[in-house]
Chains A and B, each alone.
Chain A
Amino acid sequence: GNSVTQMEGPVTLSEEAFLTINCTYTATGYPSLFWYVQYPGEGLQLLLKATKADDKGSNKGFEATYRKETTSFHLEKGSVQVSDSAVYFCAQSATSGTYKYIFGTGTRLKVLA
């Protein structure tokens, strides 16, 4: 069945370090892919998305590229800030048929000043 696998956290970085959070998926067909961010005490916010192969989603300095050949959607940021500390969720959504929106288990990021 369809699934989303994220790297386990927590990930701890110093401010201005480079961030990568790995995400891979299994799916029939070609799902849309998403990254959501959850700040402490808040709900999930859509960070970025990509709807087809080779698309790059970007927002707030974060980027992720839809790689069909490696079934991956890794999240990257060139220089993290303390305010980026949060939990990041990768997700996929089927493009046809009934509901099929699947989340990864989340990766906690802690950025130290």
Chain B
Amino acid sequence: DADVTQTPRNRITKTGKRIMLECSQTKGHDRMYWYRQDPGLGLRLIYYSFDVKDINKGEISDGYSVSRQAQAKFSLSLESAIPNQTALYFCATSDRTGGQETQYFGPGTRLLVL
């Protein structure tokens, strides 16, 4: 089984709808992240969480919110979806061993907002 899973894998929604993307991990990591990927822009950080009680905004958090329900679960919500939120969304987890951090990614959710 995959260590980092994302649901759904694909989603089509309409402008103004609220949607939630979910991420679960079995790696036992405290740190979790949400990124979006757009062609030619690489990955941009939306939100990150270093433990259940810690939530931080990334570089492009406007229009998004997150919930860290448990160590293993980190959800991303679009309260009112708009077409420019059409993108590929990735969840990641990381450990920080000996001061070094390595990130591990889920398979991604492809979102289309009409």
A-B contacts, CB under 8 A, total = 52
Cβ of B105 and Cβ of A34 under 8 Å apart?
no
Cβ of B42 and Cβ of A105 under 8 Å apart?
yes
Cβ of A105 and Cβ of B41 under 8 Å apart?
yes
Partner of A105, one of B40, B56, B99, B101: B40
Cα of A99 to Cα of B30 in the assembled complex, Å: 13
A20 within 8 A of B: no
Cβ of B105 and Cβ of A44 under 8 Å apart?
yes
Interface string of B79-114 (1 = CB under 8 A from A): 000000000001010100001111111111000000
CB of A67, distance to nearest CB on chain B (Å): 18
Cβ of B105 and Cβ of A43 under 8 Å apart?
yes
The B22-42 residues at the A interface (CB cut-off 8 A) are: 31, 33, 40-42
Given contacts A36-B105, A43-B90, A103-B43, 7 further A-B contacts (CB under 8 A): A32-B102, A34-B103, A44-B90, A44-B105, A46-B104, A93-B100, A101-B33
Shortest Cβ-Cβ A-B pairs, 10 listed: A105-B42, A43-B105, A44-B105, A43-B107, A103-B43, A93-B101, A43-B108, A103-B42, A32-B100, A51-B100
